[in-house]
Amino acid sequence: MPRGALGIALAVAGAGLILDQATKAMATAWLHPTERIPLLGDLLALTLVYNPGAAFSLAAGSTWILTVLGVLAVGVAIWYATRLRGIWWGIALGLILGGTIGNLIDRLMNPPAFGQGHVTDFLAYGDLFVGNVADILLVAGFAMIAMIVILSRSPRDGEPDREDTPERLDVACEGRP
What digits encode the pLDDT tens for the residues 109-130? 999 888 888 999 999 999 999 9
- Rounded mean pLDDT of 148-166? 64
Task: Count Cβ atoms within 10 A of the Cβ of residue 90 and give its class: 0-12 exposed, 13-18 middle, 19 or more buried.
Answer: buried
Q: What is the pLDDT of residue 168?
A: 52
pLDDT digits (tens, 9 = 90+) for 43-85: 999 999 998 877 656 656 677 788 888 899 999 999 999 999 8
Is the residue at 1 inside a domain?
no
- Residue 55: inside a domain, yes or no? yes
Quick check: is 157 catalytic? Answer: no
Is residue 122 in some structural domain?
Answer: yes
Which tens digits make up the pLDDT trace of 4-32? 799 999 999 999 999 999 999 999 999 99
Whether residue 92 has pLDDT greater than 60: yes
| Residue 94 counted as domain residue | yes
Q: Please give the tally of structural domains in the chain.
A: 1
Q: How is the chain split among helix, strand and coil, in percent rounded to 5?
A: 55, 15, 30
Q: What is the pLDDT of residue 62?
A: 72
CA torsion angle 175 11 146 20 (round to 10): -140
Residue 130 bridge partners (DSSP): 124
Do residues 36 and 45 make contact, with C-beta atoms less than 8 angstroms apart? yes
Split at pLDDT 50, 70, 90, the class of 1 is: very low
Query: CA 81, 162, 166 angle in degrees (round to 5)?
Result: 5
Range of the domain at 45: 6-154
Query: Does residue 131 carry a pLDDT above 90?
Result: yes
**Residue 91 within a domain:** yes
Residue of 66, 95, 93, 97 lying closest to 81 (CA atoms):
93
| Residue 169 belongs to a domain | no
Active site residue 135: yes
pLDDT of residue 4: 78
Q: Which of 20, 121, 127, 157 is catalytic?
A: 121
Predicted confidence at residue 35, as pLDDT, reads: 93
Kindly tell me if the per-residue pLDDT of 169 is higher than 60.
Answer: no
Query: Is residue 173 domain-resident?
Result: no
**Catalytic residue from among 20, 106, 127, 135:** 135
The answer to whether residue 101 is domain-embedded is: yes
